[in-house]
Amino acid sequence: MKQKNYTLNLIKYACEPNPYGTTKGRKAHAILVDDIATLIGASEIGISLANIESADVSFFRECVIYAVKRYSREIAFYICDVNDEDLISNLHGAALSGEQPLTCWKGDRCRFLGPETSASNKTLLDFIVKKHKTTTAEAAAGLDISVQNASTRLKRLAEEGFLLRSEESAESGGKEFIYKIIGVSA
């Protein structure tokens, strides 16, 4: 099945380059959620911070994090077009407050905001960040762990919102799961 990827510009929902506060965040959230609902079949949505100069934790939590949390079982989200460390720090605070992991791309560098995964899964996540995508067998071989262990941990990372999981045809003719970092087209 073809994955459908979209990018939404936060400035459209914020209506200003310096949004702040819970009230503005909730207003922007309502419009953002309405737009997300129209994206039938979306598998990944990037939220661009282009033209956002500053935003506080409460705006990001109310607008972005709660929208991500609402659709987290259906759609994978990531942040893009962000270069300001203060924005990233405030997004991180919002993701922690909303208890929602979020993938953030600063240029070609991936980082995860919000709650962290377990220490044992962190090693696996770091492995995938370097490769951008992997199969269960590749992860097991690369980390010298059992395929069953890799499978369980990869599935958990996908459920927690750190990875995107898709099913593809294997060279053997069967099906296999591919795990990739959200926001990478590979």
Section 109-129 average pLDDT: 93
Domains and CATH numbers, the chain: 4-113 (3.30.750), 119-181 (1.10.10.10)
Read off the pTM: 0.90
Q: Percent of the chain at pLDDT above 90?
A: 81
**Chain position carrying tokens 């994955």:** 3
Which contiguous run of DSSP H or E holds residue 154?
A: helix 147-160
Q: What is the pLDDT of residue 56?
A: 97
Section 85-109 average pLDDT: 95
58-67, 68-77, 172-181 — which one is most confidently predicted on average?
58-67
Question: Nearest 5°: phi and psi at 152?
Answer: -65, -45
pLDDT in tens, 2-57: 568 899 999 999 999 999 999 999 999 999 999 999 998 899 999 999 999 999 99
Average pLDDT, the chain: 92
Structure tokens at 59: 């705006």
For Cα atoms 53, 55, 59, give the angle at the middle one, nearest 5 degrees: 150
Section 144-169 average pLDDT: 91
Q: What is the pLDDT of residue 14?
A: 97
